[in-house]
Amino acid sequence: MTTFIEQLARMAEQNFVDFSVTPSHPRRLVPAHIQSLTPYLPGRPPWQLQKELGIDHFINLASNENPLGPPESALRAMTRAFPEVNRYPESGGLLLRESLAEHYRVKLNNVVIGSGSESIMANIIRAFLHGDDEVLTSEGTFIGLYVLVHAHGVALKMVPLKNYRFDLEAMACAITDKTKIIYLCNPNNPTGTIFTREEFDAFIAKVPEHVLVILDEAYHEFTMGLPEFPDSMSYRYDNVLTLRTFSKVYGMAGLRLGYGLGHDYLIGFVNRIKLPFEPNSLAQAAGLAALADTDFLERSLKNNLIGRSMLADEFSRLGLRYVPSHTNFIMVDFGSKQKVAALHQELLKQGIAIRPLHAFGLPHCLRVTVGLPAENEALINAMYRLVD
C-alpha cells in the first residue's frame, strides 16, 4: 500500500511545471531599481567550501561571528521554550522588551525587537523613507544598509572615509533638504574604527531635527567602556535610533535577534509596521537568557581582547598595514586587490576563510575576524608562509 506522502511525491513528479515556459514575460513585473540591485553576498557556507576543497575542517574568520558558540544559558532557555513552538510567539516580545528596557533604564515603548538588527533597519527604511528622500552615509561601511536603501528605490549618497574613519565633518556638509536618514556605524564594519564623543557631539549639532540618525552599534560591547566612545545610551536625542544585536558578542547570529532603542514616537511606528511575530519564540527565550549571562559576555570579551592583540602584534611583525580595531575583527590594507585575491585564495585552500572587501568598496583590504586562540594561530602560521 502506498503512503499519502508517496502519493504526493508521485503527483509532484507527474505535474512538474517548468516555469521557464511561462508565456508572459516576467521581467516587466520587476521595477528597474530592483533589476539593478546588487545583492549582499555573505561568505559561502563552510560545508560547501569543505566539499569543494576536499578538506575535513574549516576555520571561518570571515563573518564577525563569535567563535565561542552560543551561551549555554541560551541553549537551556530554548530547550525549555521548545515544547511551546506549536504556538505563535508572544506578539511584540513583551518579556524581552521589558528586560531590555530595564537593562538600559528606558521605557518599554523605547524598545523594538526584530529578527536581527538588519530587520529593524529594513523596517525603519520602510517606515520613514519615500519619494525624493535621500539617505546619507559613508563609503566603506555596512553593505547591508546599501542593499536595503537601493531595494527601497531611494537615493543613497556616500561620503568617502578619511583615514579609514567616518568623516563626520564632510558628512555634515553633505546634508541637503532631501536628506531624510543618516546612517552611522560605530564602531564601523569593516574598518573597526570609531568616531569619538567629541566628534559625534559636533556632528549632531549640525543635523536638522527632522533628519533621522540611525546609529548602528552592532559591535559596541567590544569597545569595553572606552571613555571616548560615544555610547548612544548615555545620550537622549529625539532623532537618533540606536540598533544593537545578539549576533556578535552574544554568539547568536543564526537565531536572528536584534533590538532598537529610541524615542517612543518613532519606535511606535517601527513596531507598527514590523511583522507581528518576529522575532521567533526560541530567539526571544534565548535573548532573555543571554542578556542576563554576564559570565558569557565576559568570556567573549576576554577571548576577543586576547585574540585581537595577538593578531595585531603578528600583523605588525609581518610588516602588514592593519587598522587598529575596537571590534571583533581587524582590517588589513594590502595596497592592491591582486594581493588580496591571491592571499584569500591561498588561505581558502588551507581551510581558512577571511573576508576580501571589494563589495565594501575597499578592494585592496581584507577583514579578519578574531577566532579561538588555535584558529588565530593557524591563520598567522599560514600568513607567515604566504605573505612576502
Give the interface with ligand PLP as residue ranges (CB under 6 A): 64, 116-118, 142, 144, 185, 189, 216, 218, 245, 247, 253, 258
> With respect to ligand PLP, which residue has the nearer C-beta, 184 or 379?
184
> With respect to ligand PLP, which residue has the nearer C-beta, 322 or 329?
329
**Residue with grid cell 523605547, as numbered in its chain:** 110
Provide the minimum distance between the beta carbon of 235 and ligand PLP in the complex, in angstroms, as a whole number. Answer: 19
Peptide bond just before 190 cis, omega within 30 deg: yes
Provide the minimum distance between the beta carbon of 215 and ligand PLP in the complex, in angstroms, as a whole number. Answer: 11
Inter-residue contact 237 to 205 (CB < 8 Å):
no
Query: Where do runs of H (alpha helix) occur along the chain?
Result: 4-14, 32-35, 46-53, 72-81, 94-104, 117-128, 143-152, 168-173, 197-204, 264-273, 281-292, 294-317, 337-349, 373-386
Three-class SS state of 88: coil
Provide the minimum distance between the beta carbon of 125 and ligand PLP in the complex, in angstroms, as a whole number. Answer: 13
**Residue with grid cell 542578556, as numbered in its chain:** 291
> With respect to ligand PLP, which residue has the nearer C-beta, 199 or 217?
217
Provide the minimum distance between the beta carbon of 306 and ligand PLP in the complex, in angstroms, as a whole number. Answer: 22
Three-class SS state of 347: helix
Provide the minimum distance between the beta carbon of 386 and ligand PLP in the complex, in angstroms, as a whole number. Answer: 26
Inter-residue contact 370 to 311 (CB < 8 Å):
yes
Residue showing the smallest CB distance to ligand PLP in the complex = 116
> With respect to ligand PLP, which residue has the nearer C-beta, 99 or 119?
119
> With respect to ligand PLP, which residue has the nearer C-beta, 99 or 247?
247
Provide the minimum distance between the beta carbon of 222 and ligand PLP in the complex, in angstroms, as a whole number. Answer: 12
Three-class SS state of 174: coil
> With respect to ligand PLP, which residue has the nearer C-beta, 332 or 383?
332
Provide the minimum distance between the beta carbon of 65 and ligand PLP in the complex, in angstroms, as a whole number. Answer: 9
Q: How many Cβ atoms sit within 10 Å of the Cβ of residue 157?
A: 16
Residues 6+ apart with CB under 8 A from 140: 160, 161, 164, 188, 190, 191, 360, 361, 362
Q: What is the C-alpha separation between 349 and 55, in angstroms, rounded? A: 9
For the chain, helix, strand, coil in percent to 5 are: 45, 15, 40
Provide the minimum distance between the beta carbon of 279 and ligand PLP in the complex, in angstroms, as a whole number. Answer: 10
Provide the minimum distance between the beta carbon of 62 and ligand PLP in the complex, in angstroms, as a whole number. Answer: 11
Torsion of CA 185, 187, 193, 197, to 10 degrees: 90
Q: What is the C-alpha separation between 132 and 128, in angstroms, rounded? A: 12
Inter-residue contact 156 to 150 (CB < 8 Å):
yes
> With respect to ligand PLP, which residue has the nearer C-beta, 100 or 382?
100
> With respect to ligand PLP, which residue has the nearer C-beta, 117 or 179?
117
Residues 6+ apart with CB under 8 A from 372: 67, 68, 303, 307
> With respect to ligand PLP, which residue has the nearer C-beta, 60 or 189?
189
